[in-house]
Amino acid sequence: DSRGGNTGGSPGGAGSGSSPTESRNKELARKQAKMYDSATGDSKRWEEEGTSYESDRLPYLVSGYGDVVTEARQDAGLTVEEVAAELEVDEDDLLAVEDGRAATANVGGSVVRALEERFGIDVVDE
C-alpha cells in the first residue's frame, strides 16, 4: 500500500516538474517572438501607406507563374537580390513568387505587376 502511494506521488512529482519546464518554454517562446518582432518590426511602411490590402490585391496568376518569373530573371542574368533592389520589393516576396507561393505569402499585386513590366512577361491570368 505504501508503495502504491509513493508511485501515485511520483507522477504528481513529475507533473509538477513539467510545469516549470512548460513556463520556461512559454517564456522562451515569448522572448523569441519579441526578438523576431523587434528584428522585423519596421512599421514605417504601414504607417505611411496604411494596411489596405484591397488596393494591392494579388490577381489570378497563370499556372507555373513562378517558373516564368525565375526563367525571365535568370535569362536577364540577375540575382533575386538585384531584382528586389531594382524594383524596391522585398526579397522574400520575390522568392515567394518564384516558388509559386505568392498567394500564401500574401504578396501584393504590385510586386507581380512590377515583375511583368520589368521582364516583359505575362503571369497574370486576364
> Tens digits of per-residue pLDDT, 79-109?
999 999 999 999 999 999 999 999 999 999 9
* Average pLDDT value for residue range 38-44: 51
Residue with cell 497574370: 124
Beta bridge partners of 124: 61
Q: Give the pLDDT band (50/70/90) at residue 112.
A: very high
The answer to whether residues 102 and 115 touch, using CB atoms and an 8 Å cutoff, is no
CATH 1.10.260 fits 51-119, yes or no: yes
Residue 57 DSSP code: P
* Average pLDDT value for residue range 39-54: 50
- Retrieve residue 57's grid coordinates: 490585391
Q: Report how far residue 53's alpha carbon sits from residue 72's, in angstroms, rounded to the nearest whole number.
A: 27
